[in-house]
Amino acid sequence: MGRMEELVELLNKYAKEYYELDNPTVSDAEYDALYDELVMLEQFGGLVLPDSPTRRVGGKPNEGFRQIKHKERLYSLDKTKTIEGVGEWIAKIQKEQPVAFTLEYKYDGLTLNLSYEGGRLVRACTRGDGEIGEEVTEQVKTIKNVPLTIPFKGEIDVSGEGLMPLSSLEEYNRDAKVPLKNARNGVAGAIRNLDVKETERRRLSFFAYNVGYHKGIEFTSQHEVHAFLIEQGFNVGDYFKVVNNFEEIKKLLEEAEIKRPTLDFLIDGMVFKVDRFDLREMLGFTEKFPRWALAYKFKAEELSTEVKDVLWQVSRTGKLNPLAVLDPVEIGGATVSRATLSNINEIRRKKIRIGDRVFVRRSGDVIPEITGVAEECEGAKEVVAPAVCPVCGSPVIEKGVFLYCSNNENCAPKIISKIEHFCSKDGLDIDGLSEKTIEQFYNEFGLKSADELFTLKKEDLLSLEGFKEKKAENVIAGIEKAKHTTLTRFLTAIGVPNIGKKAAKLLEQTFGSLDKLMQATVEDIASIEDFGLITASSVVEYFSSEENRLFIQRLLDNGITFLQEEKHEGVFSGRTVVITGTLSSYKRSAAQEEIRKRGGNVADSVSKQVDLVVVGADAGSKLDKAKKLGIEIVDEAGFLAMLAE
């Protein structure tokens, strides 16, 4: 079998797994690499095999659903993986005159086509092969942001992407007997599921981006279509730009790739379209693609590779964290050879074994994670949970789904990791105290708690190998400087469970002092926005521990003090204010800044710690809670009057 035949057979197998079985065994990036190789061979040899995937637009329709012929063909997009490729495409189109392009996210889900007649949703279909799709109307009706009726009373087809938000995926997998491999697989399986209740359980979203067949209205540009979709009540996302300058385009593409990991849904690139429809008609189509559109693909975030081994590392809390050792693979410009596995239950739920091939995902600087098994391999071995700590040999104890070393006092990795976290950039930010130096303190001085750092003297450090006068002075100066810190840094440093930098900042803004926080109840803390009962309980439990209270007192006795933000005086002095609803005079961020300028604190949620609630239009549950708690309430006019005082 020649290489071309081999590629066609492989790609058709992978396409069937993806489009028809909803069970891919390779990542998009790996499929694309093989597809690009096939295209190159076809162009070089001038031959396209009859069953080549390059002849197809999408997947074969699933026979479990009624087949629907689209009124207009749904084309896929030509693509490039380089900014230079975008520049060449733009230059070709702009050869004779300046041309404006629209720029949108390339959503990574399942393409859907919604048909409306007389203002009602009458049918929803998948793209299928571009000409024939599957009718999935009842499944699509479970998507909460799909309008069942629209103001336009003519006939119109609206195309868009069905997506499973990453937050929905995380929530679904928390209780799923069979976890989903990724959000893309999640939406495909949901829409192609004959059980409509299962579709609804996955809490999908729909993003509209195009109008196909239409009768009773005309459009002259993509930006007109975009405005029309908004008027009709469709979710179009928050990214749509009209551009024509290549330097600006380069900057926008770079910014989008940076923002990508922060989104709650998958995108795998950006889409350019010629804005004017009359120019589109002149440019026309190839067999598969419109010549007036182009997809720019980001670097791959997910690939498949083999699990070589599973190691167990001991964290600062004593938790044993499983870490997968992988056959190294390049993802997003970085070599990935390790991936987090969370806990033994997660390993068993995802059916991960040593020797299997798995999907590995990396977003920005986040630790790579295994999202699911790509291929079960012969001879693969089950992952066995350790019975003893891999470092000190002490018995392992179970707490919920996690395993912990039972040796609280003398397990070196726990002690060193806790102190390293205390000194870290988000903690007290003590220069010169690396893991290696802290390990040196542990071995030479028997240092076992972060408060003991503040008892060290320059003479002590000069007795250590590698410490000269200057280095010793710098470390002692760094420790001394760290005594004057913020409550946010302090809470992050001492390692309150489930509290990172952002949560610590919210606690400081809400309670203002360590004393008030240590006296707070679970209800007080849970009322803060983005805090739940589990996080609130862990905070209260931490401060209820006699051991932790003694640790904090030793830190305070050693000179820890808290810097106070400079406070302005004004009408809101000493008061905590919440804004709810929409203000016509100010954006919320600007209104909050006006409050701070006049001495007030700003909170995001209503609790007993709040003194005043400012109510704008369309206020919701925060207003109800403020009334229930008897908190002072003012409308926008009252707020403006206070600002004028």
Q: What is the dihedral of CA 225, 229, 230, 235, to 10 degrees?
A: -130
Confidence tier at 512 by pLDDT (50, 70, 90): confident
Q: Is residue 377 situated within a structural domain? A: yes
Confidence class for position 365, pLDDT limits 50, 70, 90: very low
Residues 277 and 344 in one domain: no
pLDDT digits (tens, 9 = 90+) for 528-538: 767 878 888 99
Q: Do 531 and 616 reside in the same domain of the chain?
A: no
Place of tokens 């939406």: 187
Q: Are 341 and 322 in contact (CB under 8 A)?
A: yes
Quick check: is 501 catalytic? no
**pLDDT at residue 216 tops 50:** yes
Q: How far apart are CA 62 and CA 68, in angstroms?
A: 11
242: three-class secondary structure by DSSP:
strand
Q: What is the pLDDT of residues 419-441, one digit of tens each?
A: 999 999 889 989 888 888 888 88
pLDDT attached to residue 291: 93
Residues 179 and 211 in one domain: yes
**Same domain membership, residue 292 and residue 177:** yes
Q: Which of 364-378, 577-591, 602-616 has the lowest mean pLDDT?
A: 364-378
Interatomic CA distance for residues 544 and 177, integer angstroms:
36
> Helix and strand tally (H, E) in the chain?
24, 26
Looking at the chain, the whole-number percentage of residues with pLDDT higher than 90 is: 38
Which residues span the domain enclosing 345? Answer: 302-405
CA atoms within 13 A on the CB side of 494: 24
Q: What confidence score (pLDDT) does residue 99 get?
A: 93
Q: What pTM was computed for the model?
A: 0.49
Q: What pLDDT is recorded for position 55?
A: 60
- Grouping H, G, I as helix, E, B as strand and the rest as coil, residue 111 is strand
Q: Calculate ∠ Cα 249-250-255, nearest 5°.
A: 95
Tens of pLDDT, residues 226-267? 999 999 999 999 999 999 888 899 999 989 988 888 899 989
Region 67-89: what's the mean pLDDT? 91
Q: What is the CA radius of gyration of the chain?
A: 29
Same domain, 452 and 310: no
Per-residue pLDDT, 23: 65
Q: Answer yes or no: is 61 within a domain.
A: no
**239 and 387 both lie in a single domain:** no
**Statement: residue 370 has pLDDT above 60:** yes
Lowest mean pLDDT among 41-45, 140-144, 533-537, 577-581: 41-45
Residues 538 and 454 in one domain: no
What is the structure's pLDDT at 46?
A: 67
- Domain-ending residue, one of 405, 439, 460: 405
Task: Give the whole-angstrom CA distance, residue 280 versus residue 219.
Answer: 12
Confidence of residue 57 (pLDDT cuts 50, 70, 90): very low
146 and 282 part of one domain: yes
Picking from 201, 257, 215, 237, the residue whose alpha carbon sits closest to that of residue 86 is 257
97 lies in the same domain as 215: yes
Q: What is the pLDDT of residue 58?
A: 47
Domain containing residue 249: CATH number:
3.30.470.30
Mean pLDDT of 89-97: 88
Asked whether the predicted pLDDT for residue 337 surpasses 60, the reply is: yes
Instruction: Choose between 618 and 384: higher pLDDT.
Output: 384
Tokens of 478: 């760094």
pLDDT per position as a tens digit, 268-322: 899 999 999 999 999 998 877 899 999 998 876 678 899 999 988 877 677 888 9
Residue 366's pLDDT band, with cuts at 50, 70 and 90, is: low
In a domain, residue 269? The reply is yes
Mean of the per-residue pLDDT values of the chain: 86
Q: Are residues 92 and 129 in the same domain?
A: yes
Amino acid at 197: K
Choose the catalytic residue: 79, 106, 414, 625: 106
Between 72 and 361, the higher pLDDT residue: 72
Q: Among 515, 540, 562, where does a domain finish? A: 562
